[in-house]
Structure formats: C-alpha cells, structure tokens
Amino acid sequence: MQLTQALKRAVQVNRAGTATRFGDRHRTWEQFGDRVARLAAGLRGLGVRDGDRVAILALNGDRYLEFLFAVPWAGGVFVPINTRLAPPEIVYWLTDSGASVLFVDDNFTDILPRIRDDLERVDHLVYLGNDAAPAGMTHHESLIEGSAAADDAMASGDTLAGIFYTGGTTGQSKGVMLSHANLVSNALFIVPGIGFDADTNWLHAAPMFHLADGCATIGITMVAGSHCFIPRFDPDAALAAIARYRVTNSVFVPTMVNMLVNHPRLADYDVSSLRTLLYGASPMPEAVIRRAMQVMPRVAFIQGYGQTEAAPLMTLLPARYHQPDGPDADKMTSAGLAALGIEIQILDADGRECPPGTVGEICGRGPNVMLGYWNKPELTAETLRDGWLHTGDGGYMDADGFLYIVDRVKDMIISGGENVYSAEVENAVYQHPAIAECAVIGVPSDRWGEQVHAIVRLKDGADLDEAGLIAHCHALIAGYKCPRGVSFVTDPLPLSGAGKILKTELRKPYWEGQAKQVH
C-alpha cells in the first residue's frame, strides 16, 4: 500500500478530469501528477532523502495537496503543522520532528523572522504563495518549473509516511507516526463508507493539517474525484464554494455545521449539488444535527469517530441511522459501527472485552493503527498494548454493535474541532504567581461544542481577575487553548482518593441538563 499509487491511478484513469480547483486555478489530473513528480524532484534537489521530514504551515489550497503527494513521491515524511499554534509551539513541532524543509504560505511568512533562529535543522524554506518569494525562501513554483519529473521513491507499506502532532508543547505534544499502509487503509475504509467515486467533488474546508479532512486527501485521489479548496472555513466562503464548484461532499466539524445551518443567507446559495456531509472530530449537539437535517433535507449526513492514532477513522454512523424518530432513534446518539477493516472492542482495565452496555475503554485494532509516537517508545507501549490501540476514550457498545462515547479523552477538551489538553492549559495558568490551585475543564458552548474553562483558587491575599488570567495565558499558549471563562473558588478543589482533582465533579454543574454528548 502506497500513497502515490492513489495519485498514479487518478492520472491513469481520469487524465483529463479535474484534479484541483482553487479560486480561478484549475488543474487536470495529468497536470497535477506532473507537478507532483517535478515538485518531488525539487525536494530532492533541496537535499530531501528517504525518511527526511518535510513540514508545512499553510492554510488550505491546491499546493498543499501537491505537497502531500510530492513528499512521499520524493521518499520523505510530511509533517503538517497546526495553523493555530503559537510560535514557540511551531518551533517545538519543527524541532521535535527534525524537519529539514518547511513550506509556508502568505499567512505565516510574518512569523518566520521571529522563529528563524530557533530552527537550526530547517535548511530550506519554501514559499507557497502567489507573489515573489520573500528573501531567503524558494518558491514552490520554481521547484516545479526547475525540475524534470522524479521517479517515485516507491515508499510503501509500513514505511513512515507522515507525522501528525496532537496536543501542544508542555510534555503533552505527541507526534503520531502514520505509515503508508495506515493512511491508505483508512482511505479504503472511507471510500465505501461515504461512497466516494469519480464524480465526487470534495470541498477542503476543514483544515488540511488535520486528519478529519485528510481522509479525503487520499480517498478522493484514489477514486479520481476532484478537490476544491477554500483557505479556511467561513460560512460564506464555504457556501459560495459549494455553489461555484458544485461540491458534492465535505467534512465539517459540528461548529462549522452550526454556522452553516444558522447562516441568515443560507437560502441565497445553491447547495443542491451537496450529496453527503461527514461530520465529526467533536461532540455534535443534537439540536444542531436535527436542524441541519431540516434545512438540508437532501443531504445524507454521516458521522465519523476516530483519532489521529487510527489514521483517523474508527467508526461511522451511516446516513440511514440519522432518524430522529422511529425505532432506531437512539442509534443517532451513537458514533456508529466499526469501519470496514477495523476491529473495535470495549476493553476493561484487564484487557477483557466488556459486555454490551458496559462502559470501558474504546480500543481498536487494524491496519490503520499508527506505528507509534515519534521518539516516545514508552508512550507507544502504553497506548498500543496486546495489539490494541487504547484510545483513552470511555464508551460502551450496544448489542447491535453501535458505539456510544461517554467521556472525553482523559481530560482533553475538544473545542471547535481542536484538541486542547487541560494539563497544558493548567501549566500556563499555574505560571501566574497568584494561582493556588487550578483545574481546566471543558464546558458546553453552543459555538465550539465545548469551551475551555478554568476553575482557580487564588493564593491568600492575591489579586487577579478573569481578564487578567486570560491575558496571561495568551502570552504562553495558542489562543484556542486559552480559557474563555474563569470561576474563582475559595474552597480547595475536590480530590480523588489518589489525590487527583476530581474533574468529573467539577464538570457536573456545567453539563447538567445537557443531552449526553456524543462525538
């Protein structure tokens, strides 16, 4: 199994068909394939050798997709960087992965001067924009124009294809190593699961650095469908792109779905081409999906559940189970059934399968399960045990094989589709001298699914208000990780027998009266 096979097939079976549409730019599969092979040659010219890491920090676009195929074509390993990270976090990811080349688009060239000195191992910067390349950067187009097509490096199977980081900097950040077989397997599960074919016209609206959209990068290419792009999600941009490109499929996180269906001018856009919307990556409020089904009655909604460690798909809730009423109504609150080639089990603490209805840890086994964490063998051994990926998610399965997720990944908060590790935010909060005790939890948010909330006890005599604590955090971590609200308490926080703060207790008052969250 080989990422580049998907591209070669698309060029062979749909040579003159549309590969990419981005703004006014349109390329056929033949053109796209030629550009990838030449970009790969350009990468080799920059010194990229088998297994070398090549990073990208950019919004969505056709060149991002070229990058994602050119790197494996050259034998390299791609490292997509979260576009919402703070500069120190970007430095950490680049340094940890040891990337030797970094691709950057116009939106991020500004931060380069601030981090350039910290990037000792990055030998080359490649500019992805439309203008002339800034000083010290090589233009993406000049790498293509200046090279003859390279031979495919033929990396495949268990060879490392990409490193996808989850989390941030403070001991929480983990580079998930995914092989060619991992990513191609996932695509093979997605294709029939969603029904991709050569007529599928995919909109890359969710960020391409994240594997929720990454499913389509390979899957749509494999079936020789078409890729359309908007740089970042915005309801008007997404609706306009759907109308303009006659988009048939996309993936949206619940906050995006929410913005679309509540958009005051939704009716002004022609979305009649839309066949299927995949949603996932964070809890979907039931009211939102019901409204989405009402306002887009011809669209089939499919829920996906997974994690980066599973490349990422683990379960799918097919459209036929989106029935708010009737005998299968309760299935709609589930995360669906095991994807095609994956084994899903709920295991107890001893690694035994839990009976239906009993909560345990959601575990998965299959060709999509990661190789491990980059440079973290202990964490890998902890996560991949007896052949099972231990997701850290709590859940149960009903007697029909439907998976219900009942708890966050340990204490992770999923806000607007982004994973926020509470421990990392707590580390930032704790750096303020006024803080005695702190716990960061996710609380319900209509906009983000969950939002980050800090519960703090100040030191005796200390003086700090909500705005002050939030500003303190903004100096240390990415904006989306910062608390959006702070509760000040005077009693010590509740502790478990083992001395850990009982976050379940802290979360309770915020979640009371809310429908049980499923994601």
Judged by the rule CB under 8 A, the positions of this chain that interact with a copy of itself are 1-2, 5-6, 8-9, 12-15, 154, 157, 181, 184-185, 188-189, 191-192, 195-197, 222-223, 337-338, 340-344, 365-367, 387, 397, 399-401
- CB contact set of 346 (below 8 Å; sequence gap of 6+): 353, 354, 358, 359, 360, 361, 362, 363, 395, 396, 397
Question: Which of 151/505 has CB closer to a copy of itself?
Answer: 151
Question: Which of 218/482 has CB closer to a copy of itself?
Answer: 218
Q: How many C-beta atoms lie closer than 10 Å to residue 467's C-beta? A: 9
Question: Which of 324/341 has CB closer to a copy of itself?
Answer: 341
Q: How far is the CB of 303 from a copy of itself (least distance, A)?
A: 15
Question: Which of 195/485 has CB closer to a copy of itself?
Answer: 195
DSSP for 360-411 reads: EEEEEESTTS-SEETT-HHHHHHHEETTEEEEEEEEEE-TTS-EEE-S-STT
Distance, CA of 395 to chain centre: 21
Question: Which of 83/248 has CB closer to a copy of itself?
Answer: 248
DSSP for 74-128 reads: TT-EEEEPPTT--HHHHHHHHHHHT-SEEEE-TTTGGGHHHHGGG-TT--EEEE-
Q: How far is the CB of 124 from a copy of itself (least distance, A)?
A: 31
Question: Which of 387/494 has CB closer to a copy of itself?
Answer: 387
Question: Which of 338/478 has CB closer to a copy of itself?
Answer: 338
| Listed residue (426, 422, 424) closest to 450, CA to CA | 422
Question: Which of 173/185 has CB closer to a copy of itself?
Answer: 185
Q: How far is the CB of 164 from a copy of itself (least distance, A)?
A: 22
Query: Residue 284 in contact with residue 303, Cβ under 8 Å?
Result: yes
Strands 249-252 and 276-280: parallel
Q: How far is the CB of 323 from a copy of itself (least distance, A)?
A: 16
CA distance 418 to 478: 11
Q: How far is the CB of 1 from a copy of itself (least distance, A)?
A: 5
Q: How far is the CB of 338 from a copy of itself (least distance, A)?
A: 5
Q: How far is the CB of 336 from a copy of itself (least distance, A)?
A: 9
Q: How far is the CB of 370 from a copy of itself (least distance, A)?
A: 16
Question: Which of 160/222 has CB closer to a copy of itself?
Answer: 222
Neighbour-count burial for 15-27, b at 16+ CB within 10 Å, e otherwise: eebbbbbbeeeeb
Strand partners, 362: 346
Q: Is 491 exposed, middle or buried (0-12, 13-18, 19+ CB in 10 A)?
A: exposed
Q: How far is the CB of 78 from a copy of itself (least distance, A)?
A: 20
| Listed residue (439, 431, 426, 420) closest to 479, CA to CA | 420
